[in-house]
């Protein structure tokens, strides 16, 4: 009897099984992807975000290139001689065309390198890693303050529209909406740091050194950001809650069952209003970062906003472009998480094939 061949042309059961297993895993992955609307949404958003983020950094580079002056002159100052400026100009490769410099930077980004700062040669990724936690803490602190103010006040106003609490809240919210963040920050510095000396006007204490001092340093900046936003969100949530309470059939049904207005407001109307609230909050993340740029400069917080302003002043293109790229990525991620939160708030929400 001749044994069957196990060569390249033979029928090896182990190889056949392995091949079937590999093909089967690929088919199972594709089937899981095709049958999961949420996974399709995530992949599509990521694919759409890539050209958007590249476009944002390109526009940033163009605007930075159009500013008068150059990095060599900005870094050396007015006392530098033309020879020193020219030497640094060549050292920083500023004599190369704009598109060549940007192309070299974007290629480096796709290889995981954000470049080096023109000011001190420090890697941009390292600078962002040091300063991002400060900006993140400020945004989280301001968001918590905003939510703790806006949600209870909106619910109190919606319970009795036109009442005393409603009218006072509407006046205050309009007042805070009318005051820019930098003006409010300067007022807080004057009142709470200069006159009463309750909080520091400038400075930053890492949370690893002292939690109490860290919170004191962030209190005035956080309230400078949170109060105008709270004025906006109070009005937004109040209007939606009043509409829910006055026009929805489930409210009439709940009242017919004997439930009180406060129970209906907190257990039913508030949850239905959360989708619109979360949508606007997710869209305003970019606004939050814009506010931090101004507030960090006023209070001397060494976050991304502070570094961004200094980078623009020094014409430090790699630093500015790297910060803008990271901020754009954070905004994309937050908006994606906002979309995914809809299904948690309302299980009826499903993402079909048209979701982008």
For 179-207, letters b (16+ CB in 10 Å) and e give eebeebbeebbeebbeeeeebbbeebbeb
For 329, residues 6+ apart whose C-beta sits below 8 A from its C-beta are 49, 53
Would you give per-residue pLDDT tens digits along the chain (356 residues)?
Answer: 444 444 444 455 444 444 444 455 666 666 655 667 777 777 888 888 889 899 999 999 999 999 998 899 988 888 889 999 999 999 988 999 999 999 999 999 999 999 999 988 999 999 999 999 999 999 999 999 999 999 999 999 999 999 999 999 999 999 999 998 889 999 999 999 999 999 999 989 999 999 999 999 999 999 999 999 999 999 999 999 999 988 888 888 888 888 888 999 988 899 888 888 988 888 888 888 889 999 999 999 999 999 999 999 999 999 999 999 999 999 989 888 887 787 677 666 655 544 44
For residue 208, the SS3 value is: coil
Distance in angstroms (rounded) separating the CA atoms of residues 30 and 264 = 44
Integer angstrom CA distances of residue 349 from 43, 96, 311: 19, 52, 43
């Amino acid at each position: 009897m001749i044994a069957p061949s196990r060569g390249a042309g033979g029928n090896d059961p182990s190889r056949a099984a392995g091949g079937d297993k590999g093909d089967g895993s690929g088919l199972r992955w594709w089937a899981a992807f095709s049958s999961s609307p949420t996974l399709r949404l995530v992949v599509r958003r990521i694919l759409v975000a890539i050209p958007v983020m590249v476009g944002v950094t390109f526009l940033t580079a163009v605007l930075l290139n159009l500013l008068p002056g150059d990095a060599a002159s900005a870094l050396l100052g007015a006392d530098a001689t033309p020879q020193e400026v020219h030497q640094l100009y060549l050292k920083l490769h500023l004599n190369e065309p704009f598109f060549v410099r940007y192309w070299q930077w974007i290629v480096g980004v796709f290889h995981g390198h954000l470049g080096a700062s023109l000011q001190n040669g420090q890697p941009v990724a390292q600078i962002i890693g040091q300063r991002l936690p400060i900006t993140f803490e400020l945004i989280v602190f301001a968001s918590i303050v905003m939510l703790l103010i806006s949600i209870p006040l909106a619910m109190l106003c919606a319970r009795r529209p036109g009442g005393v609490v409603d009218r006072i809240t509407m006046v205050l919210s309009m007042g805070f909406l009318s005051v820019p963040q930098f003006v409010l920050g300067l007022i807080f510095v004057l009142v709470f740091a200069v006159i009463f000396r309750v909080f520091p006007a400038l400075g930053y204490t890492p949370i690893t050194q002292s939690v109490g001092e860290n919170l004191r340093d962030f209190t005035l900046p956080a309230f400078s950001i949170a109060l105008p936003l709270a004025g906006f969100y109070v009005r937004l949530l109040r209007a939606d809650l009043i509409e829910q309470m006055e026009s929805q059939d489930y409210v009439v049904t709940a009242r017919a069952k004997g439930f009180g207005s406060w129970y209906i407001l907190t257990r039913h109307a508030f949850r239905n209003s959360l989708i619109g609230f979360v949508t606007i909050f997710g869209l305003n993340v970019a606004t939050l970062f814009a506010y931090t740029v101004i507030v960090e400069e006023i209070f001397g917080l060494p976050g991304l906003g502070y570094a961004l302003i200094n980078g623009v002043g020094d014409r430090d293109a790699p630093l500015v472009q790297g910060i803008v790229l990271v901020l754009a990525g954070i905004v994309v991620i937050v908006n994606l998480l906002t979309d995914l939160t809809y299904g948690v708030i309302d299980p009826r929400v499903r993402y079909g094939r048209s979701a982008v």
